[in-house]
Amino acid sequence: MHIDPLEKKWGQIILVICAFFVGIILFEALFHSVNAPSNVETIDSTKLHLSQEFAEDKLGVNTDDKGNIVVRMVAGRYSFFPKEIVVPAETKLTFRWVSMDVLHGVHIPMTNMSTMVVPGFVAEVETSFPTPGDYPVLCNEYCGLGHDQMWSRIKVVEKEQWLAQHSASKGGQNND
Ligand code: CUA
């Protein structure tokens, strides 16, 4: 079978490009924890306020009985609720996102947090914030006319400071 040298050369270039992209995906997955969400968990998006987990007073930062920090957030046109939460830096956090209406996306720059929030499903992502500061939470799926105004804020404080405040203001906040 004859292959034109020019065609062969371009074939090789394409293989190199493909290998490069696969390499980027592997690198991000192994070293930056950028992974496809693997849990499939459904929820009735029209009845969030009646659900055990995403009722209004259960939202935000909670500590479960094993001491894990679980953050429950609701995306809805056009914000993420609660509007502002406070979490500790350098700590593993499990975020659980649901949508109350249409498809949204969550992106927190400088972290691995980037997921679609599909109505009817719970999107769970583990992340941690390396340094204290204010982190914006942005919607990255077009969800309507207010899409570009859809954002909220996460305030990240030193771990010790968070623990001190959290143990002082326990009760009501706790979900176990
Ligand atoms: Cu929500 Cu775009």
104 C-alpha to ligand 1 centroid (Å): 5
DSSP state of 147: G
- Provide the token pair at 162: 């968070």
Residue 29's pLDDT band (cuts 50, 70, 90): confident
How much is the average pLDDT of 87-106?
A: 94
Q: What is the pTM of this model?
A: 0.76
What pLDDT was estimated at residue 174? 45
- Indicate whether 46 pLDDT > 90: no
Tell me which of 2.60.40.420, 1.20.272.10, 3.40.50.1440, 1.10.357.10 is the CATH number of domain 41-172.
Answer: 2.60.40.420
For ligand 1, atom 1, the nearest C-alpha belongs to 104
Name the nearest CA neighbour of 64 among 90, 40, 36, 92.
92
Q: How far apart, in whole angstroms, are the C-alpha atoms of residue 94 and residue 121?
A: 16
Return the ∠ at Cα 113 (arms to 110 and 119), rounded to 5°.
Answer: 150
Q: Domain-by-domain residue ranges, the chain?
A: 1-35, 41-172
pLDDT digits (tens, 9 = 90+) for 9-24: 999 999 999 999 999 9
